């Protein structure tokens, strides 16, 4: 009499291998999703702004902050650059320098960058490579509910970017 183990044959072994691969891929997907949410240091300012604007858009309001992002020398960022695939109107993206950060982004002769808000949105002109903090906010309702405010400060004054944004969004 042939035992049950001997009658399974190659189909059973192949099916077990397929199931093992599916489980391994699922575990890998979960791990990569978890690791993708972790920040490993500073990232590019344009990509960081785009990501923060997208998060705020998806929630319909609120605020997000990145305490460190790299601004490369001679970088130019305009509102259109950071709205991505969202239906946000570029003129509704406003850039602001933190209230305590005028030496950092006020555009003076020694400032590493100049942050401006215009009628068509805003722009950032970077003179020297520097790292800074970025906060993005949007009011859930009220007069300022259409504007996405992007506030910049030095990394030492990251709370200044968040505080400036909160003030603009109320």
Say if domain 43-168 classifies as CATH 1.10.10: no
SS3 116: strand
The pairing of strands 148-154 and 113-118 is unpaired
Token reading at 35: 């690791």
Local confidence band at 2 (pLDDT 50, 70, 90 cut-offs): low
pLDDT digits (tens, 9 = 90+) for 73-103: 899 999 998 988 889 998 999 999 888 888 8
The pairing of strands 121-126 and 148-154 is unpaired
Contact in structure between 123 and 136 (CB atoms under 8 Å): no
Local confidence band at 134 (pLDDT 50, 70, 90 cut-offs): very high
Domain ranges for the chain: 4-36, 43-168
Contact in structure between 135 and 68 (CB atoms under 8 Å): no
Which of 52, 64, 57, 78 is CA-nearest to residue 147?
57
pTM score of the predicted model: 0.71
The pLDDT assigned to 52 comes to: 92
């Amino acid at each position: 009499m042939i035992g049950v183990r001997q009658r399974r044959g190659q189909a059973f072994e192949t099916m077990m291998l397929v199931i093992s691969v599916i489980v391994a891929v699922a575990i890998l997907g979960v791990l990569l999703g978890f690791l993708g949410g972790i920040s490993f240091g500073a990232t590019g300012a344009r990509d960081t702004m785009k990501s923060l604007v997208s998060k705020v858009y998806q929630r319909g309001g609120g605020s997000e902050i990145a305490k460190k992002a790299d601004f490369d020398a001679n970088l130019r960022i305009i509102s259109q650059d950071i709205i991505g695939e969202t239906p946000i109107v570029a003129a509704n993206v406003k850039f602001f320098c933190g209230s305590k950060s005028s030496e950092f982004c006020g555009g003076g002769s020694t400032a590493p960058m100049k942050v401006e808000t215009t009628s068509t949105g805003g722009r950032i002109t970077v003179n020297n490579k520097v790292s800074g903090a970025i906060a993005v906010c949007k009011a859930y309702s009220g007069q300022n509910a259409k504007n996405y405010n992007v506030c910049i400060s030095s990394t030492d004054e990251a709370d200044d970017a968040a505080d400036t944004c909160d003030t603009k969004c109320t």
